[in-house]
Amino acid sequence: MKNWIIDRLRNEGCIFTEVETQLLIPQAGTIEDLMKMVEIRASGVPLEYVLGFTKFCGLRIEVERDRFCDPF
Q: What is the pLDDT along the chain (72 residues), one digit of tens a residue?
A: 899 999 999 999 999 999 999 999 999 999 999 999 999 999 999 999 999 998 889 998 888 877 655 544
What residue segments make up the domains of the chain, in order of their start?
Answer: 2-62
Is the pTM higher than 0.85?
Answer: no
**pLDDT at residue number 64:** 82
Among candidates 44, 32, 37, which has minimal Cα distance to 21? 37
Residue 27: other Cβ atoms inside 10 A:
13
Q: Which residues of 29-56 are buried (b: 16+ CB within 10 A; e: fewer)?
A: eeeeebeebbeebbeeeebbbbbeeeee
**pLDDT at residue number 68:** 57
